[in-house]
Structure 1
């Protein structure tokens, strides 16, 4: 029995109506010499099936995940996994003001359970929440409470942004950090508060002042790089790591380019959440083009 079958030994899949097949309208009994009373693995997901939950405006996280997987297509353990995306409806992506953020928070939290229920229809082994909640919820308690309630409805393991980034920082024994977010003032302050609640000293923080969650994907790499090199990576900051928040802001390629130059980990949120999901499921391979977290831990 394969690994997935052993984990789901109480489930018979696929569910056949009869022990045979139909050919030209005629039933052929016991055709195919297979046992129809036992479990058969999905041949495309013989290792793991992940559910990925992202806001409907997010066009980046899934792309960055698949880019890493494609660049590492020769890694055996990655060949039998799949990612299946469910969107949280966020009809008003503007986050220009306190009222906008409150409206966005309300719609996201109201739609989260529906997105989870949709994701569960794919029968995943593990769920990933691809949303940096720290920009709409103030502090770790506000971030973790609704997520913990949602997780409790699923009876499966999850990877979340705050959980993954905390573990990654602990792997590097980081204490003094810099953060870069796509958010406006309130969202950036909320992100800073979450890391402070987790016990980190946020020495420097940069918010790129994007007022629309859909537009976050369009923030130029040149602006991100300038902020990292000119504002965060300065000697007086003496940082142990730099953390990027905002799953719709691409960052993996930039981290790959800059980590060796700045000498400290550049923790791209999408890479870190993928790292957490894979490592939580026994996939420990070192990967290329995925930032140093995948090579170091």
Structure 2
């Protein structure tokens, strides 16, 4: 018998324990019959005040992922969704594939991750070659994001990092900061803009920006959850959260 609330799919969601944005974002996009079951990746609220400390803090998260996988698997989910993005971009496309393989080998089920989800989203829109992106991170991690997109065939024209000084500070980035950053990144030489960093709230701002910029604007939480739904054959269209969920 299927789960009485998750009768279409039960998603096990992995996210850092410091992340307060990805859970409400994913729940906002959840169709009837799909349930989200969160497993916290133990994450000290590191002070990310330099390239070195930012990278070191991210590596701590990566080292704790499999413990969270083993925990959420006790709920017998049908599929996993990664609610943390930085580690899924490390070492380019081959690094993303290796991360996916490691998690899927442990879990025995498939997973959607932010890096591959963003690439799939850009391809779904069609005609996207040149992108701009922004993150809450420091330059060392942006370098990894740029490398990944390059491996996937996208040219990064511009990028910026907000240099948030702790993991919880990422959730304090305001809607106005998001809008200002999108305007700064836009230009006739950019086909689409991407936001990475799952603890940065940009789902609604990205959806609105598609109207006033007239081009695809991909928020990583939207892309990741969209990817998970479509991977499970769930084609429900969600309105008011951007073209990705309403059209593709």
Deviation >3 Å, runs of 4+? none
Question: Equivalent residue for 1:43?
Answer: 4
RMSD, aligned CA: 1.7
Question: Equivalent residue for 1:114?
Answer: 67
- Unaligned 5+ segments in structure 2 are none
Question: Equivalent residue for 1:199?
Answer: 153
Alignment of 1:233-244 (within 5 A): 233-235=186-188, 238-244=189-195
Q: Which structure is larger by alpha-carbon Rg, 1 or 2?
A: 1
Q: Does 1:58 align with 2:19?
A: yes
Counterparts of 1:269 and 1:187, CA distance in 2: 15
Question: Equivalent residue for 2:38?
Answer: 85
TM-score, normalised with respect to structure 1: 0.79
Equivalent residue of 1:249, what SS? coil
Contact 1:177 1:201 in 2 (8 A): yes
| Higher RCO, 1 vs 2 (CA within 8 Å, ≥6 residues apart) | 2
Counterparts of 1:252 and 1:64, CA distance in 2: 7
**Segment of structure 1 superposing worse, 49-58 or 142-151:** 142-151
Counterparts of 2:177 and 2:88, CA distance in 1: 20
Contact 2:51 2:139 in 1 (8 A): no
2:132 to 161, 178, 182: 178
1:160 to 103, 106, 113: 113
Q: CA deviation at 1:130?
A: 1.0
Equivalent residue of 1:42, what SS? coil
**Segment of structure 1 superposing worse, 137-146 or 203-212:** 137-146
Over 3 Å counting, the alpha-carbon distance change for 1:168 and 1:136 in structure 2 is closer
Q: CA deviation at 1:102?
A: 4.0
Q: How many residues align?
A: 247
Q: Does 1:266 align with 2:220?
A: no
Contact 1:135 1:188 in 2 (8 A): no
TM-score, normalised with respect to structure 2: 0.93
Contact 1:86 1:119 in 2 (8 A): yes
Question: Equivalent residue for 1:8?
Answer: none
- Unaligned 5+ segments in structure 1 are 1-39, 70-77
Contact 2:136 2:164 in 1 (8 A): yes
**Which one has the bigger helix percentage?**
2
Counterparts of 1:93 and 1:144, CA distance in 2: 27
1:254 to 205, 230, 238: 205
Equivalent residue of 2:160, what SS? strand
Counterparts of 1:216 and 1:196, CA distance in 2: 25
Contact 1:181 1:206 in 2 (8 A): yes
Over 3 Å counting, the alpha-carbon distance change for 1:285 and 1:136 in structure 2 is closer
Q: CA deviation at 1:135?
A: 8.3
Over 3 Å counting, the alpha-carbon distance change for 1:256 and 1:136 in structure 2 is closer
Contact 1:125 1:156 in 2 (8 A): yes
